[in-house]
């Protein structure tokens, strides 16, 4: 059983059974470790989990899921938000929720099912007084502890698709690369438009969210995609989540001029008929980011469909190709008016 679905099906007020017992007996989260200046050497020093191996969250650590998640070699991701006592999230329209000082966002990457599931890393974002700090923690073979991995690391594993890869844990600077906006570290995932209305409603009832954003979630639920689904909203959501943290004004790839944010409505800005600023071998023999009606001539899809260094996009966070993502974006381009 995958914890995100199981946890999110439960009330935020009670997690029931052994999970509730673990939470009741667990020590409180170490707020000083979040707000201080040090980088704790062990994930357990924060106290985010009542049971780390089973990813049972401690008190005031709330599991959540994204409608359209970032793809990382097919890894299962277990996401959590920690809020200090008496604090709440602030909604800012459909955009990123605003977090108080002392809050944290956690994302654990795992591969395998059931007893074979293996926790690989937990990435932590800490909201300190001077901004966000991103730290990667690598789980040991015994699955009892995760250790700070400032230099990153590599792990040989087999993806759910059966591909043998060298999985990369990002170093601290690479964390900044993806989480940088206008030279400041910032969260990527928990935008109101990409969170379920039910989850936000539960957080509101629990006093952990100040208000519900108008209109509710707008991004589609990726797991619900079928061949009968409209391609455009799924493709645009995929590009927003997987690419727009760099490809937007102020992002790490803003010099490309490509803006893949969900809210961007200018077709040329998100790539249709747009020539690359400097793609090099990443363009292949193609001339435009997107050629309406012709996915095989579109640089964007060419780079998505490659795992080769210097060609693959995203540049970080993948060692294999997301075939479903390529298929959905390809279908969107195919169906465009020419």
Percentage of the chain lying above the pLDDT 90 cut: 66
The mean pLDDT value of the chain amounts to 87
Query: Could you tell me the end-to-end alpha-carbon distance of the chain, in angstroms, rounded to an integer?
Result: 45
Give the residue, 281 or 102, on which the prediction is more confident: 102
pTM for this predicted structure: 0.87
Residue 304 pairs with which residues in a beta bridge?
Answer: none
pLDDT greater than 90 at residue 323: yes
Percentage of the chain lying above the pLDDT 70 cut: 88
Average pLDDT over residues 155-172: 90
Give the per-residue pLDDT at 7: 42
Give the per-residue pLDDT at 11: 40
pLDDT greater than 60 at residue 135: yes
Confidence of residue 218 (pLDDT cuts 50, 70, 90): confident
Rounded CA-CA distance 242/75 in Å is 14
Confidence of residue 245 (pLDDT cuts 50, 70, 90): confident
Confidence of residue 280 (pLDDT cuts 50, 70, 90): confident
Rounded CA-CA distance 43/52 in Å is 9
Q: 77-81, 129-133, 187-191, 262-266: lowest mean pLDDT where?
A: 187-191
Per-residue pLDDT of 251-278, as tens digits, reads 878 888 899 999 999 999 999 999 988 7
Rounded CA-CA distance 59/62 in Å is 8
Give the per-residue pLDDT at 72: 93
Confidence of residue 331 (pLDDT cuts 50, 70, 90): very high
pLDDT greater than 60 at residue 17: no
Instruction: Copy the structure tokens of residue 113.
Output: 């099912």
Give the per-residue pLDDT at 180: 58
Per-residue pLDDT of 190-216, as tens digits, reads 999 999 889 999 999 999 999 988 765
Burial of 170 (0-12, 13-18, 19+ CB in 10 A): buried
pLDDT greater than 60 at residue 284: yes
Average pLDDT over residues 307-334: 90
For the chain, what are the domain ranges?
Answer: 3-205, 224-334
Q: Which residues, in sequence order, are CB contacts of 318 under 8 Å at separation 6+?
A: 71, 72, 73, 307, 312
């Amino acid at each position: 059983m995958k914890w995100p679905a199981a946890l999110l099906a439960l009330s935020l007020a009670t997690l029931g059974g052994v999970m509730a017992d673990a939470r009741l007996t667990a020590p409180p989260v170490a707020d000083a470790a979040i707000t201080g200046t040090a980088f704790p050497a062990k994930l357990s020093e924060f106290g985010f989990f009542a049971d780390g191996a089973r990813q049972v969250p401690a008190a005031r650590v709330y599991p959540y899921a994204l409608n359209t998640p970032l793809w990382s070699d097919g890894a299962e991701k277990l996401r959590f938000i920690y809020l200090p006592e008496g604090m709440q999230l602030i909604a800012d329209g459909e955009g990123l929720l605003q977090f108080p000082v002392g809050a944290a966002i956690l994302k654990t990457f795992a591969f395998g099912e059931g007893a074979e599931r293996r926790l690989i890393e937990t990435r932590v974002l800490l909201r300190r007084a001077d901004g966000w700090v991103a730290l990667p923690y690598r789980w040991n073979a015994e699955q009892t502890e995760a250790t700070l991995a400032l230099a990153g690391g590599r792990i040989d594993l087999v993806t759910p698709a059966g591909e043998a890869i060298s999985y990369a844990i990002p170093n601290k600077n690479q964390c900044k690369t993806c989480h940088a906006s206008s030279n400041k570290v910032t969260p990527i995932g928990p935008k109101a438009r990409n969170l379920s209305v039910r989850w936000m409603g539960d957080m509101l009832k629990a006093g952990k969210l100040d208000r519900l954003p108008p209109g509710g979630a707008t991004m589609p639920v990726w797991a619900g995609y079928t061949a009968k689904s409209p391609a455009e909203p799924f493709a645009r959501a995929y590009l927003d989540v997987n690419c727009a943290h760099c490809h937007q004004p102020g992002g790490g790839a803003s010099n490309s001029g490509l803006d893949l944010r969900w809210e961007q409505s200018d077709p040329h800005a998100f790539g249709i008929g747009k020539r690359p600023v400097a793609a090099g071998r990443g363009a292949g023999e193609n001339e435009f980011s997107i050629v309406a009606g012709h996915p095989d001539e579109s640089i964007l899809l060419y780079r998505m469909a490659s795992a080769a260094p210097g060609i693959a996009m995203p540049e970080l966070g993948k060692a294999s190709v997301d075939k479903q993502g390529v298929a959905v974006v390809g279908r969107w381009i195919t169906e465009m008016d020419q």
